[in-house]
Amino acid sequence: MRHYTELADLRDEVLLCRVFRHAWEVRPFYDDDVRPELARLASSVRALRCTRCGHERFDILTADGRHRHYYREPEDTQHIRPVPLQVLRAEMIRRGLWVTVIGQADGA
């Protein structure tokens, strides 16, 4: 059974990923990254890791051009019940994570 974390207890990097989505970067691919049933179908695999929270994504392209993907979560992944994006943004403001920079372009 999935354990849910309260919004106030969510780590900052997880909150940022919930609001802005994951910050994917390509990482090296290893043979054991892909589930065996998908490895048989793959002609190309791209491995990605989120620079904030550590989630991994595997994009699999088959020889006939079909695309599949799946995710692997870090062991310490935090889950929250569905929350409107407005509530998540308000939590960012409460924590001081939502910074507005006014006048920086003109040196003010």
Please state, rounded to an integer, the average pLDDT across all residues of the chain.
Answer: 85
58, part of any domain: yes
- Burial state string for 39-61 with b = 16 or more CB within 10 A and e = fewer than 16: eeeeeebebbbbebbbbbbbbbb
66, part of any domain: yes
Three-state DSSP state, 59: strand
70, part of any domain: yes
Please give the structure tokens belonging to residue 39.
């490895």
101, part of any domain: no
pLDDT over 70 at 107, yes or no? no
105, part of any domain: no
Domain that holds residue 32: 7-95
Q: What's the CA gap between 34 and 56, in Å, rounded?
A: 11
pLDDT over 80 at 80, yes or no? yes
Specify the residue for token string 């589930």: 35
107, part of any domain: no
Please give the structure tokens belonging to residue 33.
């990254």
102, part of any domain: no
Tens-digit pLDDT profile for residues 6-15: 999 999 999 9
Q: What is the pLDDT of residue 103?
A: 62
Binning pLDDT at 50, 70 and 90, where does residue 2 land? Answer: confident
Please give the structure tokens belonging to residue 75.
């062991």
108, part of any domain: no
Tens-digit pLDDT profile for residues 50-79: 999 999 998 888 888 888 888 998 888 888
